Structure 1
Amino acid sequence: MTVQNRRQFLASSAGLVIGVALPLKGRAQSGAAAALGDGTIAEGAFAPNAFIRIAPDNTVTVLCKHIEFGQGPYTGLATLVAEELDADWSQMRVESAPANDELYKNLAFGLQGTGGSTAMANSFMQMRQAGAAARTMLVSAAADRWGVDPSTVSVEKGVVSDGSNSATFGELAEAAAEARVPVEPAVKNPSEFTLIGTDVPKVDSRAKSNGTAMFTMDVYRDGMETVVTRRPSVIGATVASYDDSAALDVPGVTAVRQIPQGIAVYATSTYAALKGREALSVEWDMSNAETRSSDEIFADFREMANSQGTVVEETGDSAGAIEGAETVLEATFEFPFLAHAPMEPLDAVIEVTDGAAEVWMGAQFPTADKGVITQTLGLNPEDVTMNVMLAGGSFGRRAQPTAHIGAEIAEIAKAAGGNGSWKLVWTREDDLTGAYYRPITVHKMRGGIDAEGNIVGWEDRVVNQSITAGTPFDQGGADPTSFEGSTKMPYDLPNVTVDWVKADMPVPVLWWRSVGHTHTAYATEVFLDELLEAAGKDPVQGRLDLIKDEAGRDRGVLERVAELAGWDGQRVKGDRAYGVAVHESFSSYVAQIVEVSDQGGMPKVHKVWCAIDCGVAVNPNVIRAQIEGGVGYGLGTALFNALELGEGGEVRQKNFDTYRMLRISEMPDVEVAIIESEMDPTGVGEPGTPPIAPAVANAWRALKGESPRRLPFKQAGV
């Protein structure tokens, strides 16, 4: 629904639109403008944030400030509102909020965006208060209508009643819009929850199942052209010259234009655009390209790991402790570039009409995309409308601090000039060869054990690129996303040094599901397991002995998963081996135990037991689904995936035949235990991924004697 259509709908519905963090004298109807994002505020405005619309037809629509690409914020945020509103779940609807930092910012970021497993955490109280405020206003309207004290009015499953009279939300909406908006409405005690903590059906499942859900690829505008861009096969190369004569001879190709991202081919269909791109002849300038192979980059990183970097955590004297240790272990772990490979590759649609632009895309940072589009086209912000579409996955790929897809679709429109509409399409080959990968990383580890089997020294040197350098997220100094998880471990180790060596190279890198934790969990949990094994200690009890906080949440998930898996200390039983890992990320605590066998020289993971402490479980089914998905995503990557640069820097993997996903027959049975908690919700989308690879590596070492030093398992010759 466009902003114009939404405005017309609201005008005709004469319903109740409300927000939170409101001035004392604000009135509900003034939130309509804020909900539309058109910047106009009526007299007596109360809005900075409008999240709820209640229409005369009794539907409750939640404007979701977070993009929905399968991780569940539509359902989660609607649950929070419905809980405090005492709505019936069948009433609930969700729409994407427009791009507006002031109204819809992520409270963890300070700008509108989704990522870092923050959607539920930053919205928990905000959306509950929005629902509670709406409920208070409906009760007030009902009490005025019936001439009773508001304390005698109750709400249950979308019906407001005082015992003698009753009304639906829709019947009270217009009157409620005139009620005073409570500034800090009281919210429920957890013991009163009726929806939070239950498996309510996801609000978007039906539309996604029957094909009515609208994704960017489903958007068609009158006269729209499809555009694909020819990019270099070596990352960092730029256009030196090109010949478009053969491309222009392809039926359906309407134009070929150079843009900063490469050579754009415009056509009347996707097929014609692709055939036109194939026919292009391009000469590339390689002066700023990354021409090293992955093996050469790893060799350079290993050399860099011989020199100390920026110390990011230090306790005691690790070098002295290791020097005086009875036993010293060393290990170097290597992690390749990884592509995100979401099911829906990147795409965007833009329509320019008489100095205004409307955009449709799966924007994870919509205001960033809008800002770049506005600047590129030389428009005023109020003349650019951003429609945040459903998206088929992301895993970090759509979280673009440089807004490069917004920039590309804007450059396509700018190069064409005038009015028109264009759809940018990235193919799977574009997706895998177009950079913005998880960084190549090397961990150089050292650890020392005394004669009693105690770990007395620990060192971890991390070498990789900074993801945030040169972006709006760059805060100067060390980039915590490069080494997060290698610091602040839950274990009581007396002498620790963690340092980071920053590597610079032309390959753009990006957050990948669980970001730094994806490699730090492997390096720390595998190396710790090896130290415990060398000390003759049980891997579960050995970890518990190192967690000194008796009430620690790390301890809680580890004890729970051991109970769940029936851990008895036997790492090998017949042809099956068992491994464990525990890791905290995005303020959630996850422990996993896996059951592994040898199938043709590769690990076959039969079962994964998982315990997670993520605070209040708003939707347990969504949590279980995210953990299962995180396990599958992390397992497939650990077993099979590496995005490799070959000789001369050309990307080797171009589609799923060489960058293969985990098959359904390879997906293990996953049993998830959610720790009961009254803490505010924390991350769910990412924390299930980090522990799976080290747990499998630890089980594999129990079975075969060693863990891979370079992932994936397949490449390591396992």
Structure 2
Amino acid sequence: MDGIISGEQTAVESTMSRRVFLQGGGLLLGFALNGASTDAVFAAPASQVIEGEVTSNFAPNGFIRINPTGAVTLVMPMIEMGQGVYTSLSMLVAEELEVKLDQIQLQHAPPNHALYRNSIIGIQNTGGSASVRAFWTPLRQAGAMGRNLLVAAAAKRWNVDPASCRAKDGLVFDASGSKHLSYGELADAAAKLPVPPISKIKLKDPKDFRLIGTRAKRVDSSIKVDGRAIYGIDTRLPGMKFAAVAISPVLGGKVKTVDEKSAMAVKGVRQVVKIDEAVAIVADHMGAANKGLEIAAVTWDDGPNGKISSADIVKQLERESEKPGAVARDIGNVGKALAEAVQRIDAIYQVPFLAHAAMEPMNCTVHLQKNCCDIWVGTQAPTITQSLVADLTGLPKDTVKIHNHLIGGGFGRRLEADATLLAVKIAKYVDGPLKVIWSREEDIQHDMYRPYYLDRLSAGLNAAGKPVAWKHRIAGSSVMSRYYPSYVKDGVDPDAVEAAAEPPYALPNICVDFVRVEPPGVRTSWWRGVGPTHNVFVIESFVDELAHAAKQDPVTYRKELLSHNQRALAVLSLAAEKAGWGSPLPMRHGRGISVQFAYGSYTSQVAEVEVAADGSVKVKRIVCAIDCGMYVNPDTIEAQVQGGTIFGLTAALYGCITFKNGRVEQSNFDNYLPMRIGEVPLIETHMIQSAEAPGGVGEAPTAIVTPAVTNAIFAATGKRVRSLPIDTASLKSL
């Protein structure tokens, strides 16, 4: 985007009070706005910024400001963390507003649940593959409202019927096409027109889309390539100090000793700050802070969790999973069907704790003053962060200002505010702005991990090999109970059972229950999806087991169980076709397939793998078919499929957080491995055109890739993978 200045602070402050669109210098279209942010993501150049207050109040979600230069600014309620949401949501506005994509500038929305709520999730946050789904209609309505008012303003000036005018590329033309006016020329007049009700605003028919559905270039590519992009970790403020932190290696532990004298002797070190769970070395720059922290030689009192091990946690899960859980789904009579089945199959599956390991480690810059607190951070949950900081400091919430930034990898980790709260605790003892940066080791060893799950499954088959009974018990932590407690009904965490409570298959007798088991000494949270990332692995692996027991081809077997579900059947058939399912492969090569419905989208993947004689696994090819409803930008979808697939593959092959003496044993990329570029397979994406409402994409491939790979391993070796990460030693050729 030409002329974009990333990270610039603008002078505009907005406060909305009445249903008025008049601003002295242009047209503001608001959807329930109140206090629009002045923090620029991609800010309009200063010469284009309109100063002064806006008094307006109108309907929910996102807004457009058009100034006399014709610049369009969209206040963006969702956060960009690499998923392309700034491009796709801008496309929705641009399509209906009839402007080019590069005419739109973006600003972060301020924290406000009521005004910028993600309707899928229920609060203002970025997650759940929900951004396009939630704002598909509201942002298109915002664009269409703007177009209507601008056209009406032009028609009034020309004294013609608005129906005779048309808008294109930021201009309004008369019927002959010989006269036109720019949006900038019309903005003041449009702002003075009566606002039609949303019900009267007609959205484009999809057949008339000119931008939605095309391969539009990402609006943030250039600034990320040339280094202008500003992430939280890039924050620079006058007089800012830097802090390196050591956090208790055991959850609940406290500081025992610190060599403050040696740390303070390091040139550039200004303070040693001790709080219960951490030590911070405050310095003029990070080099001094890190050196001071190393010399400080902190020791710890481990507290009550100092003896916890992974073995203890697994034993707890095994024990608790034998007890009945909260019922998520109970159809038919599973007990009777199992007892009468011709064949019964039982299995136990396990998936480990997983860290996020984002490229940008946790960081936060804080300026805490007597009457206010400013936070510079990249967060997926600005409202929650604001509220927690207000609670911690005792400040009124409206005096806590969140300056949000681009995020260098979120994956759900930045839905949590723990790093921000730690920075605020330290900042209480520091005058002026303070930037706190976690080392990679602190980041991995103090993560909030994807839960460890242990699943027990039983199925009964009839004489034809079809399942007549399906029983699935899920045991593990409930992130929802902590984060969204009101979403948990009768003990059922809807996220923990997602993709399991309602699998896509025809199962006449099914019982799915959930046993909440909270491991001691471990914090759990979101991880590019939680429930589906383990449930799809479990279900699709078990369905493969049933197909094998029935002596049927895995694709054929699934097709019979999906005859009632045409969208699932379509992605399954497309993936199998494009992957050449059934064609011959060399020895110890295999293909595996999986299918899922999650995040509002249907997805199927075929993996082709090679298992060497030493058991090492090479994933050679991934073929993905996806029906995500009406799609906005195919390029973004392909990128999400590639990124999500690699993220899921990394976890399947290597991902595992383990505990010994209460401590996380992994510490950096040498022992918590990411996939290397030479390991990445060919990834193909095939999209099904659909008239259905948009579904989510970002987390879908992460969930579905693992069973495709493990089923392919079974096809290649005859050995079933029931726990992750994949144990290559067990796959050695005898």
Map of 2:215 onto structure 1: 199
Q: 1:678 to 1:469 in 2, by over 3 A?
A: same
Residue deviations 1:315-365 (CA, integer Å, cap 9, x gap) = 233233333333222221111110011111111112245623222111111
**CA distance in structure 2 between the partners assigned to 1:705 and 1:374 by the alignment:** 57
Q: Matches of residues 314-353 of structure 1 in structure 2 within 5 Å?
A: 314-353=330-369
**CA distance in structure 1 between the partners assigned to 2:729 and 2:232 by the alignment:** 39
- Residue 370 in structure 1 maps to residue 386 in structure 2: yes
Map of 2:553 onto structure 1: 538
TM-score between the two structures when normalised by the length of structure 2 = 0.91
Map of 2:94 onto structure 1: 82
Q: Matches of residues 609-620 of structure 1 in structure 2 within 5 Å?
A: 609-620=623-634
Q: Matches of residues 543-582 of structure 1 in structure 2 within 5 Å?
A: 543-549=558-564, 552-568=566-582, 572-582=585-595
- Residue 138 in structure 1 maps to residue 150 in structure 2: yes
SS in 1 for 2:495: helix
Map of 1:521 onto structure 2: 536
Map of 1:246 onto structure 2: 262
- Residue 280 in structure 1 maps to residue 296 in structure 2: yes
**CA distance in structure 1 between the partners assigned to 2:22 and 2:291 by the alignment:** 47
Q: Matches of residues 399-418 of structure 1 in structure 2 within 5 Å?
A: 399-400=415-416, 403-416=417-430
Map of 2:172 onto structure 1: 160
Q: 1:17 to 1:397 in 2, by over 3 A?
A: same
Cα displacement (A) at 1:583: 1.0
Map of 2:108 onto structure 1: 96
Q: 1:650 to 1:715 in 2, by over 3 A?
A: farther
Cα displacement (A) at 1:634: 0.5
Cα displacement (A) at 1:48: 5.6
Cα displacement (A) at 1:659: 0.7
Cα displacement (A) at 1:537: 1.1
**CA distance in structure 2 between the partners assigned to 1:260 and 1:151 by the alignment:** 68
Does the CA-based 8 Å contact 2:365-2:435 persist in structure 1? yes
Map of 2:252 onto structure 1: 236
Match of 1:17 among 8, 28, 31: 28
SS in 2 for 1:170: helix
Residue deviations 1:374-424 (CA, integer Å, cap 9, x gap) = 232232233222111001111111112xx22232222122233xx510111
Map of 2:18 onto structure 1: none
Q: 1:650 to 1:352 in 2, by over 3 A?
A: closer
User: Which has the larger displacement, 378-387 or 434-443?
Assistant: 378-387
Map of 2:457 onto structure 1: 445
SS in 1 for 2:702: coil
SS in 2 for 1:415: coil
Cα displacement (A) at 1:211: 0.5
Cα displacement (A) at 1:549: 1.2
SS in 1 for 2:701: coil
- Residue 587 in structure 1 maps to residue 600 in structure 2: yes
Map of 2:190 onto structure 1: 176
Cα displacement (A) at 1:491: 1.1
Does the CA-based 8 Å contact 1:558-1:582 persist in structure 2? yes
- Residue 665 in structure 1 maps to residue 678 in structure 2: yes
* CA RMSD, 1 decimal: 2.4
Q: Matches of residues 351-366 of structure 1 in structure 2 within 5 Å?
A: 351-353=367-369, 355-366=371-382
Map of 1:55 onto structure 2: 67
Match of 1:629 among 643, 662, 670: 643
SS in 1 for 2:64: strand
Map of 2:48 onto structure 1: none
Q: 1:312 to 1:7 in 2, by over 3 A?
A: closer
User: Which has the larger displacement, 311-320 or 621-630?
Assistant: 311-320
Q: 1:175 to 1:608 in 2, by over 3 A?
A: same
Does the CA-based 8 Å contact 2:22-2:188 persist in structure 1? no
User: Which has the larger displacement, 474-483 or 507-516?
Assistant: 474-483
User: Which has the larger displacement, 354-363 or 531-540?
Assistant: 354-363
**CA distance in structure 2 between the partners assigned to 1:45 and 1:663 by the alignment:** 50
Name the amino acid aligned to 1:712.
Answer: P
**Which blocks of at least 5 consecutive residues in structure 2 are unaligned?**
1-6, 15-20, 40-51
Map of 2:435 onto structure 1: 423
Cα displacement (A) at 1:650: 1.9
Map of 2:509 onto structure 1: 495
**CA distance in structure 2 between the partners assigned to 1:167 and 1:354 by the alignment:** 51
**CA distance in structure 1 between the partners assigned to 2:339 and 2:729 by the alignment:** 30
Does the CA-based 8 Å contact 2:390-2:397 persist in structure 1? yes
Q: 1:321 to 1:290 in 2, by over 3 A?
A: farther
Q: Matches of residues 462-501 of structure 1 in structure 2 within 5 Å?
A: 462-476=474-488, 477-501=491-515
Match of 1:676 among 673, 689, 692: 689
Name the amino acid aligned to 1:624.
Answer: E
User: Which has the larger displacement, 664-673 or 66-75?
Assistant: 664-673
Q: Once the two structures are aligned, what percentage of the paired residues are identical?
A: 37
SS in 2 for 1:533: helix
Match of 1:218 among 234, 238, 251: 234
Q: Matches of residues 701-716 of structure 1 in structure 2 within 5 Å?
A: 701-714=714-727
Map of 2:17 onto structure 1: none
Residue deviations 1:72-129 (CA, integer Å, cap 9, x gap) = 1100110000000110223122222222223212122332111111111000000000
Q: Give aligned pairs, total.
A: 699
Q: 1:218 to 1:619 in 2, by over 3 A?
A: same
**Which blocks of at least 5 consecutive residues in structure 1 are unaligned?**
22-30
SS in 1 for 2:522: coil
Cα displacement (A) at 1:607: 1.2
User: Which has the larger displacement, 46-55 or 495-504?
Assistant: 46-55
Name the amino acid aligned to 1:693.
Answer: T
Map of 1:5 onto structure 2: 11
**CA distance in structure 2 between the partners assigned to 1:32 and 1:679 by the alignment:** 33
User: Which has the larger displacement, 634-643 or 379-388?
Assistant: 379-388
**CA distance in structure 2 between the partners assigned to 1:119 and 1:32 by the alignment:** 21
SS in 2 for 1:445: strand
Q: 1:638 to 1:560 in 2, by over 3 A?
A: same
User: Which has the larger displacement, 486-495 or 285-294?
Assistant: 285-294
